[in-house]
Amino acid sequence: MNKINILDKEFAVSIPFEHIQSTVKRMAVKLSGDYQNKKPLFLCVLNGAFMFAADLLKSYTGQCEISFIKLASYAGTKTTGSVRTLIGLEEDIKGRDVIILEDIVDSGITISHLIEDLKSYEPASIKIAALLLKPAAVQKDVRPDYVGLEIPNDFIVGYGLDYNGFGRNLKDIYKITE
Ligand code: 5GP
Ligand code: MG
């Protein structure tokens, strides 16, 4: 079954589970190599990145810590342009190597807001690992350090991403069909 309905919209499979898994695995292998002699703190941006983080970290081979923050910027299928912090950071990140795990970078507003915020706590380094990147981000000069896949500017759901709260549990990624 290739098409599904979520609330009032129809979606079709865009990135199958197997393709997501091989992409996430490749990112984990690269990160494991780059951080071999370090003990990074992975910061998963909830809600959307929870599946990505879970899969990536199972394949990460080094020592690391994992924490979570909860941000929101989307309403329905559009960004609201402002970022709200719903759950903040608990750990002291001073002197730490921080890797932000994001589901998708679209306008780049969320990521640039978060980085500015984190910098004030003086981490040793901050890198971004995003499963997906949309072209708008490139225009705004926000470039994640690790990118899984570049995708067109369609609204997508599944694998952690939602449409008004629904669709996060889907194992494939779907795009809106209009
Ligand atoms: P940005 O601030 O870069 O515009 O957007 C980042 C956040 O908006 C992402 O972390 C994600 O939660 C949400 N987002 C961006 N594009 C999409 C999309 O196509 N589908 C869904 N469900 N969320 C998106
Ligand atoms: Mg997100």
Q: Which residue among 104, 154, 169 has the greatest number of ligand 1 atoms within 8 angstroms of its CB, and so is best to mutate? A: 104
Q: Note the residue count of the chain.
A: 178
Is the model's pLDDT at 166 over the cut of 90? yes
Instruction: State residue 1's pLDDT score.
Output: 60
Encode pLDDT of 34-73 as tens digits: 999 999 999 999 999 999 999 999 999 999 999 999 987 7
CA distances from 177 to 3, 20, 48, 87, 166 (A): 9, 20, 21, 33, 16
**Fold of the 3-176 domain:** Rossmann fold (3.40.50)
Give per-residue burial for 57-67: e unless 16+ CB within 10 Å, then b.
Answer: beebeeebebe
Query: What is the spatial order of strands in the sheet that 156-157 belongs to?
Result: 3-6, 9-15, 173-176, 156-157
Pocket test for ligand 1, best of 106, 111, 164 (most atoms within 8 A of CB): 106
Least confident of 76-80, 93-97, 104-108: 76-80
User: Mean of the per-residue pLDDT values for the chain?
Assistant: 92
Look up residue 83 and give its two tokens. Answer: 């970022």
Mean pLDDT of 156-175: 97
pLDDT, average across residues 168-173: 98
The reported pTM is 0.93
What confidence score (pLDDT) does residue 139 get?
Answer: 67
Pocket of ligand 1 (CB under 6 A): 48, 73-74, 79, 102-111, 155-157, 161-162
Write the DSSP symbol of residue 28.
H
Residues labelled as active-site residues? 106
CA 106–ligand 1 middle distance (angstroms): 6
At 75 the pLDDT is 66
